Every structure is written in C-alpha cells, then in structure tokens.
Amino acid sequence: MVESDAQLNCSSCGDDVNGFVACRECKFPLCMSCLDAEIADQKRFCFQCGHEYYGHGADAETKRGHEEEERGEVTMEIVPVDEPQEDNNGHARNLSRVSITESETYSETVNPIWKDRVESWKGKRNKKKIEEKKIKKQIKVPMEQSMEENEFPESVLQPFSRVVPISRNKLSPYRTVIIIRLVILGFFFHYRITNPVDSAYGLWLTSIICEIWFAISWVLDQFPKWNPINREAFIDVLSARYENDGEDYGLAPVDFFVSTVDPLKEPPLITANTVLSILSVDYPVEKVSCYVSDDGASMLSFESLAETAEFARKWVPFCKKYLIEPRAPEFYFSQKIDYLKDKIQPSFVKERRAMKRDYEEYKVRINAMVAKAQKTPDEGWTMQDGTSWPGNNPRDHPGMIQVFLGNSGSRDIEGNILPRLVYVSREKRPGYQHHKKAGAMNALVRVSAVLTNSPYILNLDCDHYVNNSKAVREAMCFLMDPQVGGDVCYIQFPQRFDGIDYSDRYANRNIVFFDINMKGLDGIQGPMYVGTGCVFHRQALYGYSPPSLPTINKSSSTCSWLCCCGRSSKASSKEDEAEIRRQSKQEDLNAAIYNLREIENYDDYDRSLLMSQMSLEKTFGLSAVFIESTLVESGGILESADPSILIKEAIHVISCGYEEKTDWGKEIGWIYGSVTEDILTGFKMHCRGWRSLYCMPLRPAFKGSAPINLSDRLHQVLRWALGSVEIFLSRHCPLWYGWNGGRLKLLQRLAYINTIVYPFTSLPLVAYCSLPAICLLTGKFIIPTLSNIASIWFLSLFMSIIATSVLELRWSGVGIEDLWRNEQFWVIGGVSAHLFAVFQGFLKMLAGLDTNFTVTSKATDTDDEFSDLYIVKWTTLLIPPTTLLIVNLVGVVAGFSDALNSGYEAWGPLFGKVFFAMWVILHLYPFLKGLMGRQNRTPTIVILWSVLLASVFSLLWVKVDPFFNGNQTPISTQVCSSIDC
C-alpha cells in the first residue's frame, strides 16, 4: 500500500499519473495518454492482472480519478520495467525503477498473462522499429524539427561539435604552391629527360628513375592533405543534454580494451596504470567496462590485475573527488608541477600523501611479483588455492575469464560502485592459427558483446594510459551527435608520448603524421586507424554498412577494369552482383531480431526471418547469445540474463576453434593478413562507406611509451613497413580492392596507396644516396653543364619545396625542428628498416618464410631519464645506413683531395657533388650520433679508431692515387715534348 500523496509514475512513459490508475482491479499505474494509445492499438486488457480496462474516454478516466482520491489511498503492485524506451533521437532514457525488496514482491504476485502480453508487445515493437528505420532512410527528418518534438531547452539544442576550417589566408597559398610545384616538376623532368649525360649514362638513368619515383611518392603524400580541417567538441552541451544533477540520462556505454602479451617486456606496473586510468575516467561508472586481454596467459598478469582491482578501491574515489589529471598514479605522482594548483580542499594534502604512500606499497607488491616471476618453477605456477595455473603452457591452455570488479560486485572505500574489470585469456591449442594481436582483439569483441555489449569500444595498448579523463566525452560529442555520428565508424585520437628526449632524435613523436597528414585525411573520409586510442562503433566492426549507403556505381566496373591490373569487366560485374546480394542479404539479417531459441513461437513470416538469421552463424559463429547481441544497434543485454550462463557463453566465444569457417578476420572484426592489422581494419571500414573523425583535445587524450633507442625504433619501423608490404601483396591492396562499391573517395584511396607503397621507396632511396659518393669517387656527375634556363628550373624546384614546407607548418602549427627530424628519419628508416621490409615481405609471401617480431620493451631505467636513448643493439638493420654514411664521408674526402691535385678548374664541379653528399650526411647525422654514444660523451675507442682509419686512408691515397687517369699524359712528359731535350 502506498499513500495517496506519494508520486506515482506511469509504467510506460515514466510521467506522473496524478493519482490516476488504468485498471480498477489491480490499480495498475498508467497515464491517460498511454491508456488511449493502448486502447487505440486494440489492447483492452490490463498488463498486470489481465482484466479489461474500465471505460473509455476522458470522462470515465476522470471519474475513476475522483474515486481514487475519495478513498485516500492507492494500491500498487510492483511491475518490472521493461527495456528503456527510445526517444526521437534513438537514445535510451531512464524510467522509474523499483528497489530490490520491491522486485522480490513482484516475483510472487506476477500474472502469467502479463508475460505473454509483454512478449507480444516486444515483438510488435521491434517490427515497428524496423519499419520506422526504413522510412527514415527514405525521409530524413530535419534536426531542428526532431529537437522541437523533444521540447528541450534552447541551450541543449546546440550541436555537440563543429568543424573548424583552416583559414583561407593560410590554405589558399598552400594549395597554390602545390599546383605551382606540380607544374615545375613537369618542366624539371622535361629538362632532365631531354638532356642525358653521355659520359655517365648509367648514373644519369638511375637518377632519373629515382627522381620520378620520388615525385610520385610526393603526389601520393601531398594531395590527400588538400583540405585539412580541425574539429571542436562541446562537452558542456553533451552533459546538458544527457546529464542532470549528476544523473545519467542516456550517455552511451563504452567497453575499454587493453591488450598485453609478455609481462616481462610489458611491465605489469605500466599495464596497471593504464587500467587504473580507465577505471577512474570521468564517465558514469555503470557505463564503463574494462577488458584486459592477456595473450600470454601469464599468472603474473592475473595476480597483478587482482592487486590493481584492490588498489582501485582507493584510487578511483580519490581521483574523482579532487579531479586530478592524469589519473594514472605513476605519471601523476611523477609530475614536476605544483600539485596544489586549483586544489582548495584543506584535506587534499593529507589525503594525497596517504594515497602516495599506498601507491608506493602497491608498487612494492607488484615488483615483488615481477621478481618472483623471473624464474618459472619446474612444476609450473600454482595458484593460492593450491591448484595448478591453467596457463602454464602459454601455447596450450583453456580460455580463462575472471570478473574482478562489476556493478554489483566490489565497491570503493566510500561505498560507491566501480566500473567492471574483466580479465580475459583466450584458449590456445597447437595446430590453430591465433593471429596474434588481431585475434586477441576479436576475442575481446565477442566476450564484451556477451557480458556488456556496449555500442562503442575504445582500445588502448597496455602502455597508453588515459591522460585526459574527459576523453570519452570528447568522442561521444561526435558519435552521439545526430548530425555527425550516423556514418562514423571510429574516432581516432592522436598518439602522444612520454619519456622522449627533448630533441626527439629519432622522430618518435611522429608529429608530422599526427598533426598534418591526419588532419588532411579528416577533411576527406577520415583518418586512418593507428592501432590505439580509437573509439569504435561496434556495428562497424561487425561488418555492417553505414545507415546511408552510396549507390553502387554501374560504371565502376569500367573504372575497375582500367585501374585493377587488367582484370576483365566480366569479373568486375560479378563482383558488383556479389556486392548487391550481400547488401540485400544484410538488410534481411538486420530485420531478424528474434530469439533463435523461440523459433516455434512465431508465425510463418517470422520463421522465414529466423531462417535468414540462422545464416548469421556462418558469419559470426555458433553462439546464439552473441548473434542476438550483434543485432542490437543500441547495445545492452537483457537484465534478466543469468550471469552464470553469460560467463559460460563468454568462455565459448573465446575458444580457439570458434572462428573456423566464419568471417572473423576476413570481413568482420580486426582483419587478418598483416602485422599492421590496424591499417587493414580501417581500410575495410572506409571501403564499406563508413567515415572516421579525428579528435584533438587541447589536453592530449592518451599518452604512451615509445622505444627511444635506435635499435628498438628501427625494429618498430620494420614491423610497420612489413605490414604495408603484406597488404600490398594481398587481395586488400588499395590499388585494386574496393573499386566496385564506389564508396572510397579518390583522395582517401591515394592516402591508403601511399601507406602501402612507401616501403618500396627504400630501393630508389638507397640508390640515390649512393650516387654522391660514386660521383665523387669517379669524377662524373648526373647533371650536365647547367644552362641559364636549367638553373631557373632547379632553383624554382628548391624554392617550391621550401615554400610547401613553410606553408604546411603555417596552417598545422608544427615546428620546423619536428619537420626536420621527420625528414631525417625518413632517410634513416628508408635505407634500413624499409629496405629489409621489402625483401622480408616478398620472402614471406613467395617462400612462406615468416618473421617473428618480438614485443618492444617498455621498461625504462629510472636512474637516468634518457638512459635507453644511448643503448645500441647491433642488428643487421644498422649495416646499410652505416655503409652509406662511411662511403659518402670517404667520397667527400676524396673529392677535396682530387680538387687540390687538379687545380682551380676542378673546384666548380666539386661543389655540386659535395652539396649532394652533404645532403645525405646531414640526414644520417642522428644515426651517426646514435652510434657515437651519449650526448657530448663520445667513447674514446670511437675517436681512436676514427684517427687510425683517417691516417691509413690518407697514406694509401698518397701512395695509390686511385683517380689517376692512365690516358692522361703526365705534366713532365708534356713539358718535355714541347722542349727539345
């Protein structure tokens, strides 16, 4: 019994019923408008008791209301609230819910008729949604009209984000110089080709081929940056729309993915800091779930995550109470700033000291685990309960899932719930292909779909922590904006790094790529996926096409015939037909949203849809629960689902044989076939018609650790380049894949082509860097004597190159030092890692020789901030650049020596050759400095060997004189011939 002055809410819409109840027998609370809608829909019986509603119309309803008021009280049965309704914008809103004690009362008094009615209502409602979506595809409702229907305040109706175009004063000169440079290149090559050097024809032809390739590479890199843009997100508007007084009214849930393999190379403390920064992110806790993939099945990772979950009970409330940034404790406590800034609470200093002490104790426990794990016992690891650790054999173990934290599980020290934290280690067995990181990410997609099924996924590497606690809200400003987010497959954040030396010797920050190239792509179809710091739309990962698809261009078959290496038009037309069939099939599959286990409860029409749904098993695998989750666009799982059943299903979807004979890794999820699965995955999404966005908040969203020593950096670049070569040699090569649908824009395709062909630039680059030394040693040159017109073209080309770079820096805000470092490492990586990647890629694809890459170590020496910078691990990657460097240095010495012996006339040609050689030496200077050791501390042995080699070379030069031309007559002979001796 509830007193009459208590506020009753309608069980359908949540509005106040003002004392009115729909059913006279059970007093079921239903407002007048909802009752009218029920009666208009031929629903004349009560949801709760099954009795017929009393009377129709407003008079009868008013009469019943007065009767209830005269009694002085209203009886109310507890009715469970079904799935949240959706408003006009497709976002869920909260309805009034009952407490735990009330739900227990309901379980005893519920009427079976209600269940049947609800099941019938849900089925019809789902059909109605499908019809409405089809209508919306044909008739687009203006945003203003949709907002007016919701009757929100004017401040809430503002857009969540906006595009900030580059000023015309900066962009117009930039585009003009690009066109001018293109014209100059045409005249330059006309001169170079029509003026061969007969005395050095081989060198001249080699230089022409190299220069043409460099020009093509420049076009592929430059024109995708034709229309760069910036974006701005309005977090306050998002909060005003979906939050009120700290209560959530529709923010979308997000599943975080963190992947790790080897805890000895990826220290558990770094992974723990990433997890802690996720758990304390500024977002509703019930909307955050963190999944940690341990692909090495290490007990050390498991135990460290258990300790992290316990420490999170203290760390999360501390972060949210004092709004600290960043929320990774290791990086927060190591900041060299005034931590009292903007912190006015008197208790902050005391609590911060206590928290720092707790964190130091937590680090001691983690480090003790790491020290213990250095030597594996002969009998394997044993858990605390005495049982053997299932992952003692990392290549042969069952799937493991452990939920450490959850909405109904552990709470923090202040009694608040914590985000969900789940440990996942997929099953591995001999004889199965596990596809490394891509396979682990796909396993997390399936596990999260079964347990939480959030509509959005944010993936991070284990060493990339959340540096900006509002980063998720920044992404939601784009994904939840009705004007923007409909066709967006992912939001990519730039990568930022800690622990890099001030001069960034090896271009670890990649500023040019993240602040110039990615902005340019954002103005076309969107930035590329770069492996971490990316928020995905789950439906895009499932291989679904965006809501608004461009029509298939009938003439695309002709285009594909011209552009796809001579494939026949007949094959292209077959691909068109296959694409159309796939789209039509997908529409039918999207309509089948019924439960596979209740097929006998539906009529013939529904059964036919279910039959089409069963074909989803060939795509997604044999899991009814997972298949159902893929068909729910807004995400979420049934509240009545048994957690134990869900855990069993989650174990099933991470089994090693689950992906067999499915489309996992081929059309859905992270795509297999390359070590750079990120580029391939984003490319497939763009080919389906999706677009991506680039989000650059003022405070970097995420920060990570970069391998800053030369050897690790080159191995990292080698892995990226090999992945590009693999894509080039696969069926997914942008040169011929995806032409039929007409959904990938031309400039976007050029960007992807540049991404997969850039390693091949190493071949002409090595040849071009060798030419200066050869010219100096042979006395020949690749350019004939310059005329006045030729000098103008050469000078114009150099000036246009400089102008393009300056204007690019002007609109992007990148510093000239970052640009120069990028150019230097382009040469260093090109003549080493890229060169090896080309040969290894062909060996892998043609001979089947696979290359196993080791995980880059993330550990650092705390005694010296940049101690890792000076480590040189000798590998074969160091041989080509070292050889080029020595050869060009020898060539410069030889050139000056020859000029001193030849006289005044030899100095003119010498300057052109020396300038060419110095260009190579300056670009390889960071490599030389890396070989020499610490900054300003060149090892003595290097100096001794340098002096010794220079002395030997000088003595040999005087004795041998290798540039003596036998055809020339010695000066003494010429003099004697002119004088009668």
Backbone angles phi, psi at 761, to 5 degrees: -65, -20
Catalytic annotation, pick one of 295, 576, 712, 898? 295
Residues 6+ apart with CB under 8 A from 438: 665, 669, 670, 671, 672, 677, 681
Catalytic annotation, pick one of 282, 678, 868, 898? 678
678 carries an active-site annotation: yes
Residues 6+ apart with CB under 8 A from 686: 489, 525, 526, 692, 743, 744, 748, 752
Identify which of 264, 260, 261, 265 has the alpha carbon closest to the alpha carbon of residue 275: 260
461 is in an annotated binding site: yes
385 carries an active-site annotation: no
**What 8-state DSSP symbol labels residue 389?**
P
The DSSP element (H or E) to which 660 belongs, if any, is none
- The C-alpha atoms of residue 759 and residue 836 are separated, in whole angstroms, by 9
| Planar angle of CA 537, 484, 452, nearest 5 degrees | 25
Strand boundaries in 142-228, DSSP class E: 161-165
| Planar angle of CA 212, 214, 218, nearest 5 degrees | 115
295 is in an annotated binding site: yes
Residues 6+ apart with CB under 8 A from 18: 31, 65
Are 96 and 64 in contact by the 8 Å Cβ rule? The answer is no
- The C-alpha atoms of residue 312 and residue 143 are separated, in whole angstroms, by 42
- The C-alpha atoms of residue 391 and residue 368 are separated, in whole angstroms, by 20
How far the first Cα of the chain sits from its last, in Å, is: 139
436 is in an annotated binding site: yes
- The C-alpha atoms of residue 339 and residue 818 are separated, in whole angstroms, by 30
The DSSP element (H or E) to which 830 belongs, if any, is helix 816-830
265 is in an annotated binding site: yes
Are 678 and 531 in contact by the 8 Å Cβ rule? The answer is yes
Query: Cα dist. 61→26, 43, 66, 67, 708 in Å?
Result: 15, 16, 9, 10, 75
The DSSP element (H or E) to which 676 belongs, if any, is none
Looking at the chain, the number of H-run helices and the number of E-run strands are: 35, 17
- The C-alpha atoms of residue 709 and residue 696 are separated, in whole angstroms, by 28
604 is in an annotated binding site: no
Q: Does the CA dihedral 764-769-772-778 come out positive or negative?
A: negative
Binding site, annotated residues for Mn(2+): 437, 461
Binding site, annotated residues: 259, 265-266, 295, 436-437, 461
Catalytic residues: 295, 678
Binding site, annotated residues for UDP-alpha-D-glucose: 259, 265-266, 295, 436
